[in-house]
Amino acid sequence: MPVSVADHFGQQAAACSELGSLFTASLCRLLAERLDRSTSFGRRILDWPGDPGADALALRACGALHALSRSGRDARLRQVYPPTAFDRERVWSAVASALTRHDDFLAAYLESSPQTNEVARSAMILGAALTVASLTRLPLALLEVGASAGLNLGFDRYRYEFGGGRFWGPAGSPLTIGCDWRGDLPPLDAPLQVVSRQGCDRAPLDPAAEVAAARLMSYFWPDQPLRLARLNAALKLAAASGQKIVRADAGAWVEHELGQPAVPGTCRFLFHTVVWQYLPADVRARIETVLATAGAAATVRTPLARFGFEADGKENGGAMILTLWPGERTILLGRADFHGRWADWLRT
Same domain, 55 and 136: no
How does pLDDT run across 225-254, given as a tens digit for each residue? Answer: 999 999 999 999 999 999 899 999 999 999
pLDDT at residue 2 greater than cutoff 90: no
Report pLDDT for 141. 98
Determine if the pTM surpasses 0.85.
yes
Number of domains within the chain: 2
CA distance 234 to 226: 12
Identify whether the C-beta of residue 148 lies closer than 8 Å to the C-beta of residue 204.
Answer: yes
Assigned domain for 97 exists: yes
pLDDT at residue 1 greater than cutoff 70: no
Q: Which of 262, 273, 52, 47 is nearest to 144 (CA)?
A: 273
Q: Which of 147, 158, 157, 135 is nearest to 322 (CA)?
A: 135
Same domain, 100 and 23: yes
Assigned domain for 78 exists: yes
C-beta neighbour count of 168 within 10 angstroms? 21
Mention every residue, 6+ apart, whose C-beta is less than 8 A from residue 243.
150, 153, 154, 197, 199, 207
Domain residues for the domain of 167 are 119-345
Residue 109 three-state SS: helix
Same domain, 190 and 276: yes
Same domain, 89 and 141: no
How does pLDDT run across 62-90, given as a tens digit for each residue? Answer: 999 999 999 999 999 999 999 999 999 99
Q: Of 71, 86, 109, which closes a domain?
A: 109
Which DSSP symbol is given to 113? P
CA distance 90 to 201: 38
Same domain, 97 and 136: no
pLDDT at residue 164 greater than cutoff 90: no
Q: What is the mean pLDDT of residues 90-101?
A: 97
Assigned domain for 103 exists: yes
Q: Of 62, 89, 109, which closes a domain?
A: 109
Alpha helices in the chain (DSSP H): 5-18, 22-34, 40-46, 57-71, 75-79, 88-101, 103-109, 122-136, 210-218, 225-241, 250-258, 281-297
Q: Of 59, 85, 109, which closes a domain?
A: 109
Report pLDDT for 322. 98
Same domain, 94 and 124: no
Question: Confidence class of residue 214 from pLDDT cuts 50, 70 and 90?
Answer: very high
Same domain, 172 and 258: yes
Assigned domain for 91 exists: yes
Report pLDDT for 68. 98
CA distance 221 to 178: 19
Assigned domain for 141 exists: yes
Same domain, 137 and 241: yes
Assigned domain for 114 exists: no
Report pLDDT for 348. 57
Q: Which of 111, 32, 26 is nearest to 67 (CA)?
A: 111
DSSP of 2-19 = PPPHHHHHHHHHHHHHHT
Q: Residue 341's Cα: distance from chain center in Å?
A: 14
Average the pLDDT over each of 27-31, 41-45, 273-277 and give the range with the smallest value. Answer: 273-277
How does pLDDT run across 299-325, given as a tens digit for each residue? Answer: 999 999 999 999 998 888 999 999 999
DSSP of 145-195 = ES-TTSGGGGGGGSEEEEETTEEES-TT-S-EEE-EEEESPP-TTS---EE
Same domain, 16 and 68: yes
Q: Which helix (H) or strand (E) holds 199?
A: strand 194-201
Same domain, 170 and 99: no
Assigned domain for 200 exists: yes
Same domain, 99 and 232: no
Assigned domain for 286 exists: yes
Residue 310 three-state SS: strand
Q: What is the mean pLDDT of residues 35-52?
A: 96
Average the pLDDT over each of 87-96, 137-146, 163-172, 320-329 and give the range with the smallest value. Answer: 163-172
Report pLDDT for 326. 98
How does pLDDT run across 18-41, given as a tens digit for each residue? Answer: 999 999 999 999 999 999 999 999
Q: Which of 129, 143, 122, 149 is nearest to 243 (CA)?
A: 149
C-beta neighbour count of 211 within 10 angstroms? 9
Same domain, 163 and 292: yes
Give the relative orientation of helices 57-71 and 5-18 as an angle to the nearest 10 degrees: 70
Integer Rg of the chain from CA: 21
Mean pLDDT of all residues belonging to the chain: 95
CA distance 110 to 81: 20
